[in-house]
Structure 1
């Protein structure tokens, strides 16, 4: 087979794929505000969610972040949003650190519930096109929040075109079932297991 034959075969194959893809895309006409879940043991749940927040900011779309667990340390995304994009993205760090650091269950529950009240306020505001609930799955896992209350609110009160992103390990099955988009980050390899600590620019 000559190079020209190979190129012709490739072009014909790609043309066929494009026609099939165009046919599929022509059927995708609806829009709606999505419930998006990032879960799993792998790294990247919050990172991917913040990528979408920065997309919203880049498009001039108002958005908001509520952090449920994290709070004990500065992060690059929080510092950048607060210093540069606070007019486009409200940022509320409501947690006081990971649960094993606070060692105060009553306080953790109090802070998680306060974070949920703030989250509801931000989600109810139709001006916010996306609201990120960072590490809410952790609060739900430990029953700091009532899962049915969260699901009922999202079903009944979330504005039709508002996207809500919920991150954290061990997302509960009813939340996964209710979501429109679910991604599970799979852990294949992590430097922490080789004795390497969390590093600026990678983890925070």
Structure 2
């Protein structure tokens, strides 16, 4: 004779089997749909990528992609439009261990509220952009990061029309170019292939915690 507890266990086992079967059927259907979708994706191209928004992670994500390029043995480059003499972890790593694959150019002089000199900021941005154009036009490079260039564009230190025109006419077909920084111009967003907006939900700075190595730099 089956006890009440044994019957309950049997029902639980049956319901688990039913759940497992339902899950397997659902995932099989999802995989089939995914496989059909992936079968239509065969093209490759050099992407224009924008990381913007008020949240943390714009440059961090870009440097993650640079490390992927390095891991694949792809030559790449970084131009920093704002950060100059900062001793950052990414700069140490890339210049100290992967300098043969990744060019690193820190050409900024600090944030605008630090320099307090508009003409100097414009000159630094122009110099960085000239270097960026040289690197982007080099077909030997797989990816070029323009770190914090959106800040220079936001303040009109660079002409957005000139930047878009250069990307259209001079960027090699397989070169990826990554733009980081808050307040990306709409023209850049319209021209981009991939745009991610980092949303600020919570940040320790607002609680009195300063920027810390390994997290912010």
Bin of the TM-score, shorter chain as denominator length: over 0.9
Query: What are the residue-to-residue correspondences of 1:35-114 with 2, within 5 Å?
Result: 35-114=48-127
Distance 1:133 1:80 in 2: 18
Q: Which runs of 4+ in 1 moved over 6 A?
A: none
The match for 1:16 among 26, 29, 33 is 29
Q: Could you tell me which residue of structure 1 aligns to residue 156 of structure 2?
A: 143
**Secondary structure of 2:37's match?**
helix
Q: Could you tell me which residue of structure 2 aligns to residue 195 of structure 1?
A: 208
Matched, 1:157 2:170: yes
**Secondary structure of 1:188's match?**
coil
Distance 2:154 2:36 in 1: 42
Q: Could you tell me which residue of structure 1 aligns to residue 182 of structure 2?
A: 169
Return 5+ residue gaps in structure 2 as ranges: 1-13
Distance 2:21 2:87 in 1: 55
Distance 2:167 2:136 in 1: 9
TM-score, normalised with respect to structure 1? 0.99
Distance 2:207 2:29 in 1: 47
Return 5+ residue gaps in structure 1 as ranges: none
Q: Could you tell me which residue of structure 2 aligns to residue 132 of structure 1?
A: 145
**Secondary structure of 1:5's match?**
helix
What do residues 152-196 of structure 1 show as CA deviations (whole Å, max 9, x unaligned)? 000110000000000000000010000000000000000000010
CA-based RMSD of the aligned residues comes to 0.7
Distance 2:107 2:141 in 1: 19
TM-score, normalised with respect to structure 2? 0.93
